């Protein structure tokens, strides 16, 4: 008689309310909570150059990238099964 079941979660039905971002790699628009954020840019590794350049200035080189789950996995930003905390440099 009654409805079979109710969904426990409810996504917003109205468009535009849920913020979406464009994947920087494939150009797909993905819900923001699904994406992975990475910063890419020029990294100055030369210690001499680093001292000469203001660290604030070097940070402007980096750009924010949004990656959808498939791209993130493909690019090695995240590893499958380890989506919660991506730890780098431990291995």
**N- to C-terminal Cα distance for the chain?**
56
Site for Zn ion contains 71 (CB under 5 A): yes
53: helix, strand or coil: coil
DSSP H or E run through 66: strand 63-67
Among the candidate windows 20-28, 36-44, 54-62, 80-88, which touches Zn ion by CB under 5 A? 20-28
Q: State the pairing for strand pair 63-67/36-40.
A: antiparallel
Site for Zn ion contains 78 (CB under 5 A): no
Among 22, 26, 42, 61, binds Zn ion (CB under 5 A): 26
Size of the site for Zn ion (CB under 5 A): 5
Site for Zn ion contains 72 (CB under 5 A): no
Distance CA 56, CA 44 (A): 13
Residues contributing to the site for Zn ion (CB under 5 A): 23, 25-26, 68, 71
């Amino acid at each position: 008689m009654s409805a079979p079941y109710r969904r426990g979660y409810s996504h917003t039905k109205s468009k535009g309310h849920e913020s979406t971002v464009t994947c920087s790699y494939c150009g797909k628009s993905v819900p923001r909570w699904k994406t992975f954020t990475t910063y890419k840019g020029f990294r100055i590794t030369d210690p001499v150059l680093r001292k000469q350049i203001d660290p604030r200035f070097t940070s402007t080189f980096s750009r924010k990238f949004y990656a959808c789950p498939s791209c993130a996995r493909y690019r090695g930003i995240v590893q499958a099964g380890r989506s919660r905390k991506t730890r780098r440099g431990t291995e």
